[in-house]
Amino acid sequence: MNIYYQWHKWAYSHKVWLETAKKYNLEENQIIWVFSFKDMFDEVVKNNWIWIVPIENSYAGSVHENFYHLVSYDVEIIWEYYLDINHCIASTWNNLSKIKTAYSHYQALMQCEQYLKKHNIKPHIFWDTAWSAKYIKEKNNPEIAAISSEFAAEIYGLNILEKNINDQKWNTTRFFIVIPKKVNLENFSQNNKISLVFKVKNMPAVLYKCLWAFATRNIDLTRIESLPTKENQFEYMFWIDFIKPKNEKDLKESLEELSFFSKDIKILWKY
Q: What is the pLDDT of residues 74-125, one digit of tens each?
A: 888 888 889 999 999 999 999 999 999 999 999 999 999 999 999 999 999 9
Q: Quick one: pLDDT band at residue 227, thresholds 50, 70, 90?
A: very high
The residue count for the chain: 271
Model confidence at 48, pLDDT cuts 50, 70, 90, reads low
- Say whether 87-162 and 3-85+171-188 share the same fold: yes
pTM comes to 0.85
Residue 188 in this model has a pLDDT that exceeds 70: no
- Domain boundary assignment for the chain: 3-85+171-188, 87-162, 193-270
State the pLDDT confidence band at 56, using cuts at 50, 70 and 90: very high
**Is residue 86 within 8 Å of 171, Cβ to Cβ?**
yes
Q: CATH homologous superfamily for 87-162? A: Periplasmic binding protein-like II (3.40.190.10)
With residue 110 as reference, give the H or E element that holds it.
Answer: helix 106-111
Q: Name the β-bridge partners of 266.
A: 197
Third-level CATH fold of 3-85+171-188: D-Maltodextrin-Binding Protein; domain 2 (3.40.190)
Q: For residue 177, give the nearest of 8, 4, 43 by alpha carbon.
A: 4
Is pLDDT at 4 greater than 60 in this prediction? no
- Indicate the CATH number for domain 193-270: 3.30.70.260
Phi, psi of 191 (to 5 degrees): 55, 40
